[in-house]
Structure 1
Amino acid sequence: MKNKRLFVRMLAGTVGLGVLTTFILAGIVSCAGYDAFGAKPSNSRLAQIEHSPQWHDGQFVNPQPQWQNGLGAWRDFLFGDSVKGAVPEEPVPTVKPNPALLSSPSQSGLRVTWFGHSSLLVQLADKNILIDPLWGKRFSPISFAGPAPWYPPGIELKDLPPVDAVLISHDHYDHLDYATVMALKSGATRFIVPPGVGAHLESWGIAENRIIELDWWQSVALGEVTITATPARHKSGRFFGQANKTLWAGYALSSTKNRVWYSGDTGFHNDLATIGERLGPFDLTLIDAGQYDANWPDTHLGPELAVLAHRLVRGKKMMPVHWGLIQEARHPWTEPAERVIAAARCQKVSVLIPRPGESIEPSLTAATERWWPHQRWHSAKEHPVIATENGDPDRRVVAPTCSSI
Structure 2
Amino acid sequence: MVASPRYRDGRFHNTEQLDSPMRKGTSVLSTMPEFLFGGAARRPPGQLPIESPRDTWLRPSDSGLRVTWLGHSTVLVEIDGRRVLTDPVWADRISPFPFVGPRRFHATPISIDELPPLDAVLVSHDHYDHLDAPTVRDLARLDVPFVTSLGVGSRLEALGIAPEHIVELDWWEETTLPKSGLGFTATPSRHFSGRSPFDRNRTLWSSWILTGEKHRVFFSGDTGLTTELATIGERKGPFDLVMLEVGAFHEAWGDIHLGPDNALIAHRMLGGGTLLPVHWGTFDLALHGWDEPAETLVSRAEALGIHVITPRLGRAVEPVQLDRVDPWWREVAPATLEERPVAPARSA
TM-score (norm. length: structure 1): 0.79
Partner residue in 2 for 1:243: 200
2:43 to 57, 80, 87: 87
2:138 to 183, 189, 200: 183
- Compute the displacement of 1:320 (Å): 0.8
Partner residue in 1 for 2:277: 320
- Compute the displacement of 1:331 (Å): 0.2
Matched position secondary structure for 1:101 = helix
Matched position secondary structure for 2:37 = coil
| Correspondence 1:5-404 to 2 at 5 A | 49-66=1-18, 68-69=23-24, 71-77=26-32, 80-98=36-54, 100-222=55-177, 223-373=180-330, 374-375=334-335, 376=339, 379-380=342-343, 382=344, 384-387=345-348
Deviations 1:223-274 (A, max 9, x none): 3421111110000000121100000011111223211100110000011111
Matched position secondary structure for 1:351 = coil
Q: Distance in 1 between matches of 2:156 and 2:40?
A: 38
Cα contact 2:105–2:282 (8 A) shared by 1: yes
Matched position secondary structure for 1:340 = helix
- Compute the displacement of 1:379 (Å): 4.1
- Compute the displacement of 1:377 (Å): 5.1
Matched position secondary structure for 1:115 = strand
Structure with greater Cα Rg? 1
Q: Distance in 2 between matches of 1:150 and 1:378?
A: 18
Cα contact 1:87–1:333 (8 A) shared by 2: yes
Matched position secondary structure for 2:117 = coil
- Compute the displacement of 1:56 (Å): 1.9
Matched position secondary structure for 2:43 = coil
Matched position secondary structure for 2:224 = coil
TM-score (norm. length: structure 2): 0.92
Deviations 1:144-192 (A, max 9, x none): 1101111122211121111111101110000000111010111211110
Q: Percent identity?
A: 42
- Compute the displacement of 1:82 (Å): 3.5
Q: Distance in 1 between matches of 2:191 and 2:24?
A: 16
Cα contact 2:295–2:341 (8 A) shared by 1: no
Q: Which amino acid aligns with 1:142?
A: F
Q: Which amino acid aligns with 1:234?
A: H
Q: Which amino acid aligns with 1:122?
A: V
- Compute the displacement of 1:342 (Å): 2.2
Cα contact 1:292–1:385 (8 A) shared by 2: no
Matched position secondary structure for 1:298 = coil
Give the total of aligned pairs: 336
Q: Which amino acid aligns with 1:93?
A: P
Deviations 1:122-158 (A, max 9, x none): 0111211100011112111111110111112221112
Q: Which amino acid aligns with 1:200?
A: R
Cα contact 1:169–1:193 (8 A) shared by 2: yes
Q: Distance in 2 between matches of 1:91 and 1:50?
A: 47
- Compute the displacement of 1:74 (Å): 2.2
Cα contact 1:125–1:225 (8 A) shared by 2: no
Q: Distance in 2 between matches of 1:166 and 1:290?
A: 22
- Compute the displacement of 1:358 (Å): 0.9
Cα contact 1:69–1:296 (8 A) shared by 2: no
Matched position secondary structure for 2:146 = strand
Q: Distance in 2 between matches of 1:278 and 1:292?
A: 28
- Compute the displacement of 1:91 (Å): 0.6
Which is worse superposed, 171-180 or 314-323?
314-323
Matched position secondary structure for 1:50 = coil
Q: Which amino acid aligns with 1:97?
A: P
Q: Which amino acid aligns with 1:327?
A: D
Matched position secondary structure for 2:175 = strand
